[in-house]
Amino acid sequence: MNILITGSYGQLGSEIRSLYTKKAGKHHFIFTDVDTLDICDETTVSDFFAAHKIDLVVNCAAYTAVDKAESDTDKCRQINSLSVRNLMSAAKRHGARIIHISTDYVFDGTAHKPYVETDRIAPQSVYGSTKAEGEAVLLDNYADDSIIIRTSWLYSTFGNNFVKTMLRLGKERKELSVVFDQVGSPTNAADLAEAILSIVCSDRFEGGVYHYSNEGVCSWYDFAKAIFELAHIDCRVSPIESSQYPTPAKRPHYSVLNKAKIKSVYGIHIPYWRDSLQRVISSIKDN
């Protein structure tokens, strides 16, 4: 099976690149990013599928600059929505399947219990809206042959993310203020990559929406405190409300995801968020 990975220089794509050889087996992985495949160009995508005889695409490509997206709507929509239609059209034409990565930002954050896959979506930002549009492209036109995996608060040893920012700021400052009224589940991109590879290499492909984040719940304030504790950094963290730290894009106040479906269908074990965070911090320090 020829497997195309888009967005392979991002956090998740990079983690898949670092892990795939352990599970590749008879499968052939093709890693691309914007420099080798412009997924916003429909003809280019179709030609690539034909030339490489793609059987499955794992779409990790996304516009993830949440605040910038509020003023860069066209580019955000092009990458998060229109490019998904291009991939879907090529997949249909060439008999390929799709695993597409989405986000907790499709929810409005007003829930009081973990979101299940069938809960109503109501994105509050351009980023969330365009990711919801990308989901709809697949659900409305290619549902049986598409898997959508929503995740949250992604971080990694690769790229820029909250963990790396806190590690840097914690060494530069004696005190930081972090919001405490936004609650979710941090997700180690390496754990999500493992889950995706397990699905890819399994004998099952059951289309639909799935949720994946690490187990457990915390606020951004709790997350920052844990980062400093596990990294042995002496930096005081003060809790503040979101209203004290205004941003162009509105974030969901509650975006905990229920993972029962993906665990049941694919038998995936999901690590606790602090355990995964410890591994990532240790890896960053070692490197």
Q: pTM for the complete prediction? A: 0.96
Digits of tens for pLDDT over the chain (287 positions)? 999 999 999 999 999 999 988 766 788 999 999 999 999 999 999 999 999 999 999 999 999 999 999 999 999 999 999 999 999 999 999 999 999 999 999 999 999 999 999 999 999 999 999 999 999 999 999 999 999 999 999 999 999 999 999 999 999 999 999 999 999 999 999 999 999 999 998 889 999 999 999 999 999 999 999 999 999 999 999 999 999 999 999 999 999 999 999 999 999 999 999 999 999 999 998 77
How far apart, in Å, are the Cα atoms of 277 and each of 16, 93, 238, 258, 281? Answer: 18, 41, 21, 20, 6
The pLDDT assigned to 286 comes to 77
Q: What pLDDT does residue 24 have? A: 67
Exposure letters 224-255 (e unless 16+ CB within 10 A, then b): bbbbbebbeeebebebbeeeeeeeebbbbbbb
Q: Which entry of 105, 127, 155, 212 is annotated as an active-site residue?
A: 127
How many C-alpha atoms does 243 have within 13 Å on its Cβ side? 0
pLDDT value at residue 21: 80
Q: What is the pLDDT of residue 160?
A: 93
Q: Residues 34, 146, 127, CA angle at the centre, nearest 5°?
A: 50
Per DSSP (E only), the strands in 68-186 are: 97-103, 146-151, 154-155, 175-179, 183-184
Q: How far is CA 241 from CA 13, 171, 204, 237, 268, in A?
A: 33, 24, 44, 13, 35
CA angle, corner 81, sides to 99 and 135, nearest 5? Answer: 50
Task: Please say if 127 is a catalytic residue.
Answer: yes
Considering only CA atoms, which of 232, 71, 61, 58 is closest in space to residue 146?
58
Helix (H, G, I), strand (E, B) or coil at 147: strand
Tokens coding 75: 């580019």
Cβ atoms within 10 A of the Cβ of 203, count? 4
Residue with tokens 């993310």: 161
Q: Decide: 200 and 58 in contact? Cβ < 8 Å.
A: yes
pLDDT of 23 reads 67
CA distance linking residue 188 with residue 204, whole number of Å: 24
